[in-house]
Amino acid sequence: MKKTRVLFALLVAAALLLAACAGGPSGPAEQRNDSLIVLEWSGYEEESYWAPFAEKHPEIYPDYAFFSEDAEALAKAQSGFYFDVVHPCGSWWGLYVEAGLVQPIDTSRLENFDKLFPELVEHGVINGQQYFIPWDWAYESITVRTDLVDELPTSWADLWDPQYRGQIAIFDSGESTFYTAALALGLDPYNTTPEQDEQIKQKLIELKPNLLTYWADYTEINQLLASGDVALGANTWNDAWATLNDEGYEVEYVDPAEGRLSYACGFGISANSRNVDLAYDYIDALIDAQSNANMANDYYYGAANRDSVPLLDPDLVDKFGYDDLSVLDETNFQHPLTQEQREKMTRIWNEVKSEQ
Amino acid sequence: MKREFGKWLGWAYYLALLFFLQLPILLLIIFSFNDSVLLVFPLKGFTLDWYRQLLGARELLNAARNSLMVGLISSAVATGLGTMGAIAISRYNFPGRQFFLNIATLPLVIPYVVLGVAMLILFQALGITLSLWTITIGHAIINIPYVMLIVAARLSGFANNLEEAAMDLGATYWGTLMRITLPISAPALVAAFLSSFTLSFDEFSLAFFLAGTDNTLPVYLYSQLRFPNRLPLAITTAAVVILVSVAILLVSEWLRRLGVERNARQGR
Amino acid sequence: METKRRLFVLIAPPAIVLALFFLAPLVIMLLYSFKDNTFGPLLPLTFKHYITFLQTPSFFRLLLDSSKLSFLTAIISIILAYPVAYFLVFYTGARRVILLTLLILPAWTSFLLRVLAWKVILGSNGLLNQTLIGLGLIQEGAPVLLYSQSAVLITLVYVWIPFAALPLFAAMERIDPRLHEAAQDLGASPGQTFWRVTLPLTMPGVASAFFFVFIPTLGEWVTPTLVGGVTGIMYGNLIQDQFARALNWPLGALLSLVLLVLVAAFSYVFNRFIPITEVPVST
């Protein structure tokens, strides 16, 4: 019975052909004209964050597709998943533009645009055009359970101090860990030579005895710190500190000598969007002073809208400088990365993690 | 004397291992009745509150319903396709038979992470959006070999003279298949379906790669493990799932044994 | 001719489904490993991920390390399960099926939650730590075992013991008890009987048990993620990372391919000695 063999051969050949044709991004997905599809982090779908949109379009409730990692969102967008609006963080913005996934934004169509902090808005400009509208911003630093350590770290380099052996959980991110090691070595993370990359890799391998585990999202690191499994949460956002502080734990958010890291996230409109008008209205609603403040207060982040500041928790404004963005000058703001930069950072992190 | 000692030692070891294996499960069940969010001793007090909350947990029930659908459909597909394959390999000798058998049983040994990756790439390349359907396909593939081996084992216990007799009496081949072959394999079919269902219902690794926006129960539970205050609800779900899957497997085992015994009685 | 048509109708549907959704994905995965990056066109093909792989000895070491961990898991599971299977088959008479069922019952419950249960047991507020603190053996504080290779090993052994116990039990049930009597009649001591009769006869069961534990644990990534921490990481995590975070699908495809080749080679060799996929034809 040769037939079965022939059948198999034909099918394998068909599969090969299929693969050859389908190598690139695939065709458009479902068409929707009466609704808005938002590619969003889970937890940001609260109606209070976009109330003006609901007022203007009471008949439309946005459809959400959630992601929990920036990588996941980009993979989804690249694979042809249909969306109108997407909410990636700053260091990923460049890749969306590079791949032609988003369209330039006509800022005159956003009523609230002029109220945004210019220090944040400028990062959304890529190739001379505004592609992303910043919404939320925060720091990345070290959260410490002060009751569990003898001495507080005062710099990124202190993470390598043997006294913290097995007491640290670090963000499972090639990008963040690269910055951390580069800063500890006194290097400029955006301009490293191959020798310096190797140095950074070795530095990260040297950190491993101090690491207990990696953390992947804020609930995980909060849990690790709250249970006391670790004393230091490296590359944590200010919300880790704020959440634990609210729950009565003795915590400190370090201001490292090399400067904190900082970043902003924001919204872009899909190049394939069929609901551009709705997309503009939705983004405008998000950056409304009250909506922006509602989100910032829920997550302890900074708001991109200047007029939101009076609506924020004054203690947090004071502690984190949410009212005057010149604080960003003392931090290492995370710029959009190119594909090559990101590949390099994840390659180094792969090698570090696989080193036993 | 020595044998008595051995027996005593054996019991001690058996009970120790039983304790080691059952303890974690027991802990989960105990904590599902504990009146506290934290999974630490001492216990706070008895409550049925988590079970009450379970009935109102929409997303969780949704995920459970998704798992049920994925399990039912993928097991039905796997049982159908696996049975066809089983009849072919146990009733026919043909070139490529061993090749087919090797390929069809390969999903038994392939690490799910590898299969998950491969199928994810396929669906992405074809532009198929991930959904419950993609998980269903994945689960059907991993269940086909189990079905094939279970049904083939049953069929190879029966020489096909019954089938030949039916056809001698004028029945068509397909009629014989429906009236003789399938009824003969019925216990194996049910057992294969049930074990497929259980595998699918609990499968996480493959589903994790192939899940779209709708989650199956294990994928949902995994996303909940990170939220400490939702842990009790996850554990309560586990307690319910434990009881249900044990019940299903007891039934499937009973059916399988029924088949084997009848097999033996008929002198094969 | 008629026979051919019938066979074709029977075998075509499963063959097509397997070819489309099992073989085709593997072929495409192979092609992907030559792709430049996750997105963009397939062509031109490149060897750059193969070069990365070959230039990164830590990937190899991790694969070796994970294999060692899987090997240990299989061996320990067999060592723990063997005496129990022996006891059940030779000492407990008709009750043995019920006793075995009790033992393997946990294998039928949610895999994720069994792992989670160990996280609860091994955690800083967990049963083990609290017991040790209660006994005054350690001070309050960090978990003793959680987030380590040992934690992964303990959890994996726990999860896989039932799968080792089943083939061992089946192999021992097949031994004719008269063989034992014969050996003893010929003057063999119980020890000699075990080493010269029982053990050799149960070796196929031991081999199956090894196979059914070693192979699935090779691709593990969930257990290390939950209880492994920094040192307990396994090769499967490296694969999963390429998809969840690193966004390097081609490298992930290559890493999967390496594991697949390893598993296929092992299964092939194994299947030559102890056939698991042999079905007799009764025509």
Tell me what the pLDDT averaged over chain B comes to. 84
How far, in Å, CA of A243 to CA of A251, rounded? 10
Under 8 Å between Cβ of A235 and A170: yes
- Amino acid identity of residue C70, one-letter, is S
pLDDT band for position A21 (50/70/90)? Answer: very low
- Read off the pLDDT band of A3 (50, 70, 90): very low
- Residue in A42, A79, A213, A247 to test binding to B, most B beta-carbons within 10 Å: A79
Closest chain C residue by Cα to residue B231: C116
Interface check B170 vs A, CB under 8 A: no
For B129-141, letters b (16+ CB in 10 Å) and e give: bbebbbbbbbbbb
- Averaged pLDDT, B53-76: 89
Angle at C225 between CA A169 and CA A182, to 5 degrees: 40
Are the C-beta atoms of residues B148 and B104 closer than 8 Å to each other? yes
User: What does the block give as tokens for A38?
Assistant: 């938002």
All domains of chain C, ordered by start, with CATH?
58-110+146-177+185-273 (1.10.3720.10)
Contacts of C128 (CB under 8 A, 6+ apart): C121, C122, C144, C145
CATH of the domain at B113: 1.10.3720.10
- Give the chains touching A; criterion: ≥3 Cβ pairs < 8 Å: B, C
pLDDT of residue A11: 41
pLDDT averaged over consecutive 10-residue blocks of chain C (283 residues)? 83 92 92 84 85 91 94 96 92 83 78 82 77 76 79 93 89 84 83 85 89 90 91 93 88 94 87 68 58
Which tokens is C231 given? 């040192």
CA angle (A277, A278, A281) in 5-degree steps:
90
Of B103 and A163, the structure prediction assigns the larger pLDDT to A163
Q: What is the distance in angstroms between the Cα of B121 and the nearest Cα belonging to chain C? A: 7
Angle at CA of residue C127, ends A209 and C226, nearest 5°:
50
Of A198, A204, A195, A196, nearest in space to A174 by CA: A204
Closest-approach residue (CA) in chain B for A2: B95
Q: How far apart are CA B219 and CA B136, in angstroms?
A: 14
* Residue ranges of C 163-182 with Cβ closer than 8 A to chain B: none
Cβ A353–C238 below 8 Å, yes or no?
Answer: yes
Write down the pLDDT at residue B4.
80
- Give the number of A-B residue pairs with CB atoms closer than 8 Å: 43
- Closest residue to B111, CB basis, from C13, C80, C263: C263
Query: Are B13 and C84 a contacting pair at CB < 8 A?
Result: yes
Instruction: State percent of chain A over pLDDT 70.
Output: 90
Q: Kindly state whether residue B11 falls inside one of the protein's structural domains.
A: no
| pLDDT above 70: percentage of residues in chain B | 89
State yes or no: cis peptide before C44, omega within 30 of 0: yes
Please indicate, yes or no, if residue B3 is contained in any of the structural domains: no
Longest dimension (CA), chain B: 73
Chain A residue with the nearest C-alpha to that of C228 = A213
- Tell me the two tokens of residue A257: 């000598």
State the pLDDT confidence band at A16, using cuts at 50, 70 and 90: very low
Residue-by-residue DSSP string for A259-318: --EEEEEEEEEETT-S-HHHHHHHHHHHTSHHHHHHHHHHHTPEESBGGGGGGS-HHHHH
Residue A79 with chain B: CB contacts under 8 Å: 124, 127
Give the strand pairing for A261-270 and A133-145: antiparallel
* DSSP E strand stretches across chain A: 37-41, 63-67, 85-86, 102-103, 125-126, 129-130, 133-145, 168-171, 211-215, 232-237, 251-253, 261-270, 302-303, 332-333
Residue at B242 is within a domain: yes
Residue numbers in C near A347 (CB within 8 A): 52, 248
Residues 6+ apart with CB under 8 A from C192: C183
Is the alpha carbon torsion for A176, A181, A183, A187 positive or negative? negative
Cβ contacts of C276 on chain B, cutoff 8 Å: 105, 108
Residue B268 has pLDDT above 50, yes or no: no
- C chain contacts of residue A76, beta-carbon cutoff 8 Å: none
Picking from C39, C53, C67 by the largest number of A CB atoms within 10 A of its own CB, the best residue to mutate is: C39
3-state helix, strand, coil in chain C (%, to 5): 75, 0, 25
DSSP C210-252: HHHHHHHHHT--HHIIIIITTTT--HHHHHHHHHHTS--HHHH
Who has greater pLDDT, A125 or B263? A125
Residues A4, B94: C-beta atoms closer than 8 Å: yes
Maximum distance among all alpha carbons in chain A?
80
pLDDT of residue A15: 42
Instruction: Give burial (CB, 10 Å; 0-12/13-18/19+) of C139.
Output: exposed
Q: How far away is chain C from the Cα of A187, in angstroms, using its nearest Cα?
A: 23
Give the HSE-up count for residue A261: Cα atoms under 13 Å, Cβ half-sphere. Answer: 27
Q: Assess contact for A161 and A153: CB atoms under 8 A.
A: yes
Residue A305: pLDDT band by 50, 70, 90 thresholds?
very high
The reply to whether residue C246 touches residue A25, judged by beta carbons under 8 angstroms, is no
CA distances from B119 to B113, B132, C27 (A): 10, 14, 10
B30 in a structural domain:
no
For B101, residues 6+ apart whose C-beta sits below 8 A from its C-beta are: B89, C277, C279
Chains that touch B (3 or more CB pairs under 8 A): A, C
Where residue A160 falls (left for φ over 0; alpha for ψ -120 to 50; beta otherwise) is alpha
**Helix, strand or coil for residue A98?**
helix
**Residue A253 token pair:** 């958010």
Which DSSP state fits A223? Answer: H
- Residues A98-120, mean pLDDT to the nearest whole number: 95
Q: If you count residue pairs, one on A and one on C, with CB atoms under 8 Å apart, how many are there?
A: 139
Q: Read off the DSSP letter of residue A39.
A: E
Is the minimum CB–CB distance between A2 and chain B shorter than 8 Å? yes
Average pLDDT over residues A285-301: 94
Query: Is there a domain that residue B36 lies in?
Result: no
Residue-averaged pLDDT of chain A = 88
- Residue B243: which domain range? 51-265
Spatial distance between the Cα atoms of A352 and A200, rounded to a whole number of angstroms: 10
A160: CB partners within 8 A, 6+ apart: A184, A203, A206, A207, A210
Residue among C40, C65, C245 whose CB faces A172 most closely = C245
Bridge partners of residue A85, in order along the sequence: A38, A269
* Residue B237 burial (10 A CB sphere; 0-12, 13-18, 19+): buried
* Residue from A168, A213, A225 whose CB has the most chain C CBs within 10 Å, to mutate: A213
- pLDDT mean over A10-20: 42
Shortest CA gap B111–chain C (Å): 5
Decide if B227 touches A, using CB distance below 8 A: yes
Q: How far apart are CA B163 and CA C218, in angstroms?
A: 44
pLDDT for B36: 74
What backbone torsions phi and psi does residue B133 show, to the nearest 5 degrees?
-65, -40
- Residues A177 and C51: their CA atoms lie apart, in Å, by 24
**A213 contact residues in C (CB cutoff 8 A):** 147, 228-230
Residue A95: phi and psi, rounded to 5, are -65, -35
Which chain A residues are Cβ-neighbours of B124 within 8 angstroms?
26, 79
Strands A102-103 and A129-130: unpaired
Least confident of A109-118, A319-328, B25-34, C139-148: C139-148
Pseudo-torsion of CA C40, C46, C50, C51, nearest 10°? -110
CB pair distance less than 8 Å for A19 and B125: yes
- B&C contacts, CB < 8 Å: 247
Number of structural domains chain B divides into: 1
Select the residue from B226, B230, B231 to test the A interface by mutation, using most A Cβ atoms within 10 A: B226
Distance (Å) from the alpha carbon of B81 to chain A's nearest alpha carbon: 16
Residue A18: pLDDT above 70?
no
> For residue B12, is pLDDT > 90?
yes
- Name the residue among A186, A282, A166 with its Cα closest to residue A229: A166
pTM score, two decimals? 0.86
Q: Which domains does chain A have, with CATH numbers?
A: 37-137+263-333 (3.40.190.10), 141-261+339-354 (3.40.190.10)
Q: C94 CB contacts (<8 Å, ≥6 apart)?
A: none
Q: One-letter amino acid identity for C62?
A: L
pLDDT band at A30 (very low <50, low <70, confident <90, very high): very low
Can you give the pLDDT at residue B266? 52
CA–CA gap between residue C22 and residue B106 (Å, rounded): 9
CB contact under 8 A, C116 and B225: yes
> What's the rounded Cα separation, in Å, for the pair A5 and B58?
49
Please tell me the predicted confidence (pLDDT) of residue B227: 67
Task: Check whether A7 has a pLDDT greater than 70.
Answer: no
Q: Which pLDDT score is estimated for A26?
A: 34
- Partner B contacted by A338 (CB < 8 A): no
Instruction: List CB contacts of A80: < 8 A, sequence separation 6 or more.
Output: A25, A26, A27, A28, A29, B127
Q: Is residue B177 part of a domain?
A: yes
Q: Name the phi and psi angles at A263, rounded to 5.
A: -155, 160
Q: Which residue of B has its CA nearest to A217?
A: B226
Nearest CA in chain A to B122: A19
Spatial distance between the Cα atoms of C248 and C36, rounded to a whole number of angstroms: 10
pLDDT at A161: 97
| A62 neighbors A38 (Cβ within 8 angstroms) | yes
What subunits make at least 3 CB pairs under 8 angstroms with C?
A, B
Q: Which of C23, C208, C276, C282 to mutate to test the interface with B (most CBs of B within 10 A)?
A: C282
CB atoms B39 and C120 under 8 Å: yes
Q: What is the pLDDT of residue B42?
A: 66
> B129 to chain A, minimum CA–CA distance in Å?
7
pLDDT digits (tens, 9 = 90+) for B152-204: 888 887 777 778 888 888 888 888 888 888 888 888 888 888 888 888 988 99
Q: How confident is the model at residue B39 (pLDDT cuts 50, 70, 90)?
A: low
- Name the residue among A71, A343, A356 with its Cβ closest to that of C61: A356
Q: Any CB–CB contact under 8 A between C125 and chain A?
A: yes
Bigger pLDDT: B129 vs A321: A321
Size of chain A, expressed as the number of residues it contains: 356
Predicted pLDDT of residue B130: 86
Residues of chain B by 3-state class (helix, strand, coil), percent to 5 = 80, 0, 20
B7 part of a folded domain: no
